[in-house]
Structure 1
């Protein structure tokens, strides 16, 4: 799973370093606010509770968070976690005979008896590793006619992998260089946590120190040195280290931890019951957006007020495997989930047919699948982001919603700079910039991504299903699509290769099927008419 770190390129004179952006903090809960009354382009959730839902009865809905892990003990989630009442906790037995022992809050398909997978390769890496054995002695001159298409695909993937690995290694070297230069300036300033003023008063002795002074003076106007160092320098080092040592490393394979045959898509009963896993940051944040406790007067308010969160761990720090995605979907469906949030995606697919079969199963069981569009600022009309609603054998999943990310302002910046888009491939947009939600340790943090926009829509879908339980998954999708706040102006985004991008301005309606931002108030009013 791509954790979608966002970086800004800063030219320092002797090197280029990519750093995450400081984001101008929005109001916490802005995704639930109303554009007219609150001046933030949220989805009007609070308005809906106040004007439409007060005193109304609702039915509890199970929402599966198929992700990288959920902290079930979080102060703002513990009351809303799904509990498998048919299972006796801690006895090591499969009491409900569903094939998974002690699955109290869900299941972990990337774990085994001795632990859980944290870092994983990209699907690209796995495909190159598979095919380099097959084509070990193949050349353009001797390739068999029947293998030509596969050979060309392998060469393209290998080139892609080599390019990404070179960029990761360069990024790691550059950010280490920036860190060394910054550390040197900080040492000269003589303070562990210097301020913007300290940097401005610093007397640089060379051009590099002058560039550090300029960068830090600007950055520290927006936050503290400690936050900058933790969230940007250390995060940047972690990001590029993960890429170089794990994600893009042909020699790295952690799957033995699970103990299954990763190439056998028919194998379903493997894993462990640790729904948090070694890194529950992403999934916990997603879960909070959907359902953080609205009654406890602490932390944040989720979109939906009468749902429970089922944690289904299937995505590592790297790319998820199709086998695990398929089994996670089936587990969620078989254990009662009516909405499944999938805030993950990848450019390549190993076994799309297995995922398609699981999606068809979910559709047949009246389950709504909500999927993040991805964070590469790409047009999904021409680029892949798996899984997709399109089946290999033709047709599309009828109860599937793909979600792009929007920002808080109703202007040219409304499309989040990172969000993928597609006139026929992305259904709706929802808030995904600077979203404040739950993270491990009973803490809270702002994160960005279509990974944050997708659970806004999953929460809305669950809210509708909770108050109007007779509606089908297909009807809920229809209601969400029809009730968007239409955007009738252009938005801007950068197009082209990094360093040579041009800014383009297009009608928002060209970015998605519905041409708008989801709206809870409108959706619930419309649901009442069905």
Structure 2
């Protein structure tokens, strides 16, 4: 989930540029583990929780990370990766007879038996338009249709409107970011330096010769600040170029379809056994970062400290660069449940759904098996009571009427270290009924492929904070059920008596967290441990 939120002038148009204002706050790299009272920063009091747990025994908890891939050889993750005890690596045999060959660290549902992997895919709206377009492209509002066809047609019209808007933005972003990068590259060439050697001083001293160079230099200067080097800016610029190029070439390209790589019968939602054992895949940035927040080896003197200290990470790859597919989401949940996960992190989401029934059935399966599901709320700064972000905790029928709510589900919004109005991450979705709780999600430092580390922003980072806390509770209090862990996390959340800023209908509004979430608070590990201790004692 990426977010482009701040705006600058490029030519005659407004273009979203890099990062967000809150990301300029300077915090300790582990701020999300700190304590508000002791450290003055609204972290989740992880270290204070471990002080309370000193001397208490724990059991190992498996956390399934459903994502785009994990670098399982990372220096700070290799010791906490789940290892299938009954599977022999690389022998080409399904040793444990679970239907998945060589699934030593997990499974990849977007690859094939030959080792080929899906990298890019469409957005779900693109796939749905491709599906419905042959049937409805020539239909008029006055065309006679059955009731079910009329519903599909109305939905198709909404999709076309949304798709057209997305495509216009993507084309605009692709053109303008690419031009900006070309200008900066030309400036570096003119100065006689490589991008790696270019400095802020070089940018300040450069005398632009054309209007486009003037604009490029002005934009670059605006982005550079005391804690950002030119190389940091350029990397963000490259990310923006790649993001919009992927939107145009893959996500919104109706002619692009990579499902044939997987080789499954895509229309058979009950099909379980396809894919391969490559849980890393071609792009493991996002999943590696998520895994580190949950479980990076604590107190090893390397990198960062994850939230949970007795945990194993099971990698389940099913998110491409694009939107995940419902069949893969359902199978990812079932795989993690069947292979021992007690917590499942899902830092992904989309605005449209193809087969919600299949996903609902998998959620119910996890609910029956006492597995807690933690889902990111999304990064569109929207009220998801009104604007859907799938998958959801609500079970629905064929008419999209709510028929129930999963008791084993937590939806997580994101906060920053800011105070008052700046506390809510400016990109975070919210919802009085749909978002359960908030957790830190701005400038979260965590693991990246090739044993590196990086700060990232998103509800994708907030969800694993909660997954890590849930794993901690299930590790030290194994008698607690998934529902009990959820209730403890929500009820022990720190209530904030400050209004935060949200965007509603194009304008800024200030609200309390209890107006935009179920719990009205930010998760607190110390308070959750205290609550769990009381709960267990009272039950005895």
TM-score (norm 1): 0.95
SS in 2 for 1:395: strand
Check the 8 A contact 1:18/1:175 in 2, yes or no: no
Deviation at 1:287, TM superposition (A): 0.4
Q: Which residue of 1 aligns with 2:106?
A: 106
In structure 1, distance between residues paired with 2:482 and 2:289: 24
Deviation at 1:505, TM superposition (A): 1.2
Q: Does 2:444 match 1:435? A: yes
Cα deviation code 1:245-300 (max 9, x no counterpart): 10111111101111001121110011100011111111110000000001421011
Cα deviation code 1:143-198 (max 9, x no counterpart): 42432221121122122212211210111111122223333444444443443333
Q: Which residue of 2 aligns with 1:138?
A: 139
Q: Does 2:22 match 1:18? A: no
Q: 2:481 aligns with which of 446, 454, 472?
A: 472
Check the 8 A contact 1:65/1:283 in 2, yes or no: yes
Mapping for residues 90-489 of structure 1, pairs under 5 Å: 90-114=90-114, 115-146=116-147, 147-192=149-194, 193-221=197-225, 222-230=227-235, 232-393=236-397, 394-489=403-498
Q: Which residue of 1 aligns with 2:83?
A: 83
Cα deviation code 1:316-363 (max 9, x no counterpart): 111111100001101111111000000000000000000000000100
* Superposed CA RMSD: 1.6
Deviation at 1:202, TM superposition (A): 3.1
Q: Which residue of 2 aligns with 1:525?
A: 530
Check the 8 A contact 1:488/1:509 in 2, yes or no: no
Aligned pairs, how many?
522
SS in 2 for 1:272: coil
Deviation at 1:203, TM superposition (A): 3.1
Q: Which residue of 1 aligns with 2:499?
A: 490
Deviation at 1:206, TM superposition (A): 4.8
Q: Does 2:7 match 1:9? A: yes
In structure 2, distance between residues paired with 1:89 and 1:194: 46
Q: Which runs of 4+ in 1 moved over 6 A?
A: none
SS in 2 for 1:229: helix
Q: Which residue of 2 aligns with 1:59?
A: 59
In structure 2, distance between residues paired with 1:502 and 1:17: 19
Ranges in structure 2 where 5+ consecutive residues have no aligned partner: 398-402, 536-540
Deviates more, 1:153-162 or 1:93-102: 153-162
Ranges in structure 1 where 5+ consecutive residues have no aligned partner: none
In structure 2, distance between residues paired with 1:440 and 1:203: 39
Q: 1:245 and 1:359, CA in 2 relative to 1: closer, same or farther beyond 3 A?
A: same
Q: Does 2:514 match 1:509? A: yes
Check the 8 A contact 1:15/1:174 in 2, yes or no: no
Deviates more, 1:104-113 or 1:155-164: 155-164
Q: Which residue of 2 aligns with 1:28?
A: 29
In structure 2, distance between residues paired with 1:291 and 1:26: 21
Q: Which residue of 2 aligns with 1:39?
A: 40
Cα deviation code 1:54-102 (max 9, x no counterpart): 1211000010001111111111001000000011111111111111111
In structure 2, distance between residues paired with 1:482 and 1:14: 50
SS in 2 for 1:403: strand
